[in-house]
Amino acid sequence: MSSVPSVLFVCVHNAGRSQMAAAFLTHLAAGRVEVRSAGSEPADQVNPTAVAAMAEIGIDISTEIPKVLTADAVESSDVVITMGCGDTCPFFPGKRYLDWELDDPAGQGIEAVRPIRDEIEHCVRTLLEDMGIPFASGSSDSRRPVRKSRP
């Protein structure tokens, strides 16, 4: 592993779950983790309901763009977290793979997406704890408005 670990979140469309997870990790790790997300069949845009659910807690993912999953992205990541991409994810020995079983927010209303968002946040926090990376200051309660930092 490099001095800064890298995490890749993968779901089919890279429009909901993986985008929310990447945004949480970006916020909570505050530069201590390199964050990527991709999809095996990327959508044209991020799911507007996922954007709205994240905006409710002060994280803006409205400018994110779904990206295609590449072997290079997997190979250059220390941890690969899949969310329903099945067998379409390339496998490289020596990588840490996790599969998070999360409902798909596609086609769901905001009431259904909020619990998915909250479960993703819990998973990301657990991941950071497992990696021994402290949460960014001021991020102990995600219900307070926060701003997504950009490199």
- Per domain, the residue ranges of the chain are 6-131
pLDDT grade, residue 93 (50/70/90)? confident
- CA distances 52 to 12, 44, 56, 127, Å, are 20, 17, 6, 24
Q: Is 105 exposed, middle or buried (0-12, 13-18, 19+ CB in 10 A)?
A: buried
What does the pLDDT look like over 64-77, one tens digit per residue? 999 999 989 998 99
- Per the CB < 8 A criterion, the answer to whether 110 and 49 are in contact is yes
pLDDT grade, residue 87 (50/70/90)? low
- Per the CB < 8 A criterion, the answer to whether 85 and 11 are in contact is yes
Catalytic residues: 11, 85, 89
pLDDT at res. 144: 38
What is the CATH architecture of 6-131? 3-Layer(aba) Sandwich (3.40)
- Structural Rg of the chain based on CA atoms: 14
Mean local confidence (pLDDT), 59-86: 91
Mean local confidence (pLDDT), 134-150: 52
pLDDT at res. 90: 65
pTM: 0.87
- C-alpha–C-alpha distance, residues 25 and 4, integer Å: 13
Q: H-helix or E-strand containing 121?
A: helix 110-131
